[in-house]
Amino acid sequence: MEELKNKWGQAKRAVSTDSMPIEGLITKARKKRKHVTNFHYGNIIILTLTLVGISLFFIHVAPVRDAVSRIGAFFMVGGLAVRIVVECFSTVKSQKIDLLNEVAKTTNEALKYYEFRKKIHGPLTITIVALYSLGFYMLTPEFSRYIAFEWMMAIHASYVLGAIFLIWQIRKGIRKEMQNLKELVDLKKEMDNG
With contact defined as beta carbons under 8 Å apart, do 94 and 40 qualify? Answer: yes
DSSP 25-68: HHHHHHHHHHHHHHHHHHHHHHHHHHHHHHHHIIIII----SHH
Checking if the pLDDT of 74 tops 90, the result is yes
Per-residue pLDDT at 7 = 58
Cβ partners under 8 Å of residue 68, min gap 6 = 138, 141, 142
Distances (CA, A) of 159 to 127, 151, 152, 167, 175: 17, 12, 10, 12, 24
Mean pLDDT of the chain, nearest integer: 79
Per-residue pLDDT at 26 = 62
With contact defined as beta carbons under 8 Å apart, do 130 and 83 qualify? Answer: no
Checking if the pLDDT of 25 tops 80, the result is no
Structural domain boundaries of the chain? 2-192
Q: How many CB atoms lie within 10 A of CB 128?
A: 19
Distances (CA, A) of 145 to 69, 119, 184: 12, 40, 54
Q: How many CB atoms lie within 10 A of CB 92?
A: 10
Q: Is 83 exposed, middle or buried (0-12, 13-18, 19+ CB in 10 A)?
A: buried
Per-residue pLDDT at 184 = 62
* % of the chain exceeding 70 in pLDDT: 70
Residue type, 52: V
Q: Please give the model's pTM, rounded to 2 decimal places.
A: 0.72
**CA pair distance 18, 10, nearest whole angstrom:** 10
With contact defined as beta carbons under 8 Å apart, do 94 and 42 qualify? Answer: no
Checking if the pLDDT of 14 tops 90, the result is no
Task: Give the highest mean pLDDT range of 90-99, 117-126, 134-143, 173-182.
Answer: 134-143
**CA pair distance 105, 184, nearest whole angstrom:** 12
Of the two residues 75 and 96, the one the predictor is more confident about is 75
Per-residue pLDDT at 17 = 43
* Model confidence pLDDT, tens digit, residues 102-140: 666 777 777 788 778 778 877 888 888 899 999 999 999
